[in-house]
Structure 1
Amino acid sequence: MLRWTVIFIILALVAGIFGFGGIAAGAASIAKVLFFIFIVLFIVSLIFGKRFKA
Protein backbone atom coordinates (compact mmCIF):
# COMPACT_ATOMS: atom_id res chain seq x y z
CA MET A 1 0.00 0.00 0.00
CA LEU A 2 2.91 2.33 0.68
CA ARG A 3 4.08 1.62 -2.87
CA TRP A 4 0.79 2.97 -4.28
CA THR A 5 1.11 6.08 -2.13
CA VAL A 6 4.58 6.78 -3.52
CA ILE A 7 3.38 6.17 -7.08
CA PHE A 8 0.52 8.66 -6.72
CA ILE A 9 2.77 11.24 -5.05
CA ILE A 10 5.24 11.01 -7.94
CA LEU A 11 2.37 11.20 -10.44
CA ALA A 12 1.02 14.30 -8.70
CA LEU A 13 4.43 15.98 -8.70
CA VAL A 14 5.05 15.24 -12.38
CA ALA A 15 1.55 16.39 -13.34
CA GLY A 16 2.01 19.53 -11.25
CA ILE A 17 5.30 20.34 -12.98
CA PHE A 18 3.70 20.04 -16.41
CA GLY A 19 0.66 22.06 -15.32
CA PHE A 20 -2.10 19.44 -15.31
CA GLY A 21 -3.96 20.81 -12.30
CA GLY A 22 -6.87 18.37 -12.26
CA ILE A 23 -4.70 15.29 -12.62
CA ALA A 24 -2.26 16.54 -9.98
CA ALA A 25 -5.04 17.29 -7.51
CA GLY A 26 -6.64 13.89 -8.07
CA ALA A 27 -3.38 11.99 -7.66
CA ALA A 28 -2.45 14.03 -4.59
CA SER A 29 -5.78 13.32 -2.91
CA ILE A 30 -5.48 9.58 -3.63
CA ALA A 31 -1.92 9.58 -2.27
CA LYS A 32 -3.06 11.40 0.87
CA VAL A 33 -5.87 8.92 1.53
CA LEU A 34 -3.59 5.91 0.97
CA PHE A 35 -0.96 7.45 3.25
CA PHE A 36 -3.39 7.86 6.15
CA ILE A 37 -4.78 4.35 5.65
CA PHE A 38 -1.21 3.02 5.73
CA ILE A 39 -0.42 4.91 8.94
CA VAL A 40 -3.57 3.64 10.69
CA LEU A 41 -2.88 0.04 9.65
CA PHE A 42 0.72 0.36 10.81
CA ILE A 43 -0.32 1.63 14.26
CA VAL A 44 -2.96 -1.09 14.60
CA SER A 45 -0.43 -3.78 13.67
CA LEU A 46 2.02 -2.41 16.24
CA ILE A 47 -0.61 -2.45 19.00
CA PHE A 48 -1.95 -5.92 18.25
CA GLY A 49 1.51 -7.34 17.54
CA LYS A 50 2.74 -6.37 21.00
CA ARG A 51 -0.46 -7.55 22.66
CA PHE A 52 -0.33 -11.09 21.25
CA LYS A 53 3.43 -11.62 21.65
CA ALA A 54 3.45 -10.69 25.34
Structure 2
Amino acid sequence: MKIMATLEDQFAKELRHCPLVEKTARRLDDHRRGPESDDDAQIEKRTQNPSSPYGH
Protein backbone atom coordinates (compact mmCIF):
# COMPACT_ATOMS: atom_id res chain seq x y z
CA MET A 1 0.00 0.00 0.00
CA LYS A 2 2.90 2.36 0.60
CA ILE A 3 3.84 2.13 -3.08
CA MET A 4 0.34 3.21 -4.12
CA ALA A 5 0.41 6.17 -1.72
CA THR A 6 3.80 7.22 -3.08
CA LEU A 7 2.58 6.96 -6.67
CA GLU A 8 -0.55 8.96 -5.85
CA ASP A 9 1.55 11.68 -4.20
CA GLN A 10 3.88 11.85 -7.20
CA PHE A 11 0.96 11.96 -9.64
CA ALA A 12 -0.71 14.74 -7.65
CA LYS A 13 2.51 16.79 -7.63
CA GLU A 14 2.86 16.46 -11.40
CA LEU A 15 -0.79 17.32 -11.98
CA ARG A 16 -0.51 20.55 -10.02
CA HIS A 17 1.82 21.91 -12.69
CA CYS A 18 -0.43 21.00 -15.61
CA PRO A 19 -1.96 24.18 -17.16
CA LEU A 20 -5.35 22.54 -17.71
CA VAL A 21 -5.53 21.47 -14.07
CA GLU A 22 -4.58 24.96 -12.90
CA LYS A 23 -7.22 26.50 -15.17
CA THR A 24 -9.87 24.06 -13.95
CA ALA A 25 -8.95 24.74 -10.32
CA ARG A 26 -9.35 28.48 -10.89
CA ARG A 27 -12.76 27.91 -12.48
CA LEU A 28 -13.84 25.79 -9.52
CA ASP A 29 -12.67 28.50 -7.11
CA ASP A 30 -14.60 31.12 -9.08
CA HIS A 31 -17.68 28.91 -9.07
CA ARG A 32 -17.45 28.32 -5.31
CA ARG A 33 -17.22 32.05 -4.64
CA GLY A 34 -20.41 32.60 -6.59
CA PRO A 35 -21.57 35.24 -9.04
CA GLU A 36 -21.35 38.10 -6.53
CA SER A 37 -17.55 38.04 -6.52
CA ASP A 38 -16.15 40.20 -9.29
CA ASP A 39 -12.41 39.55 -9.18
CA ASP A 40 -9.97 39.90 -12.07
CA ALA A 41 -10.47 36.34 -13.32
CA GLN A 42 -14.23 36.88 -13.63
CA ILE A 43 -13.74 40.17 -15.46
CA GLU A 44 -11.15 38.62 -17.78
CA LYS A 45 -13.50 35.76 -18.68
CA ARG A 46 -16.30 38.16 -19.59
CA THR A 47 -14.06 40.37 -21.72
CA GLN A 48 -12.79 37.42 -23.76
CA ASN A 49 -16.28 36.83 -25.18
CA PRO A 50 -18.71 39.51 -24.00
CA SER A 51 -21.64 38.02 -25.94
CA SER A 52 -21.67 34.94 -23.69
CA PRO A 53 -22.99 35.42 -20.16
CA TYR A 54 -20.71 32.59 -18.99
CA GLY A 55 -17.52 33.88 -20.63
CA HIS A 56 -17.00 30.81 -22.83
TM-score, normalisation: structure 2: 0.33
Choose 1 or 2 for highest CA Rg.
2
More helix, by proportion: 1
TM-score, normalisation: structure 1: 0.34
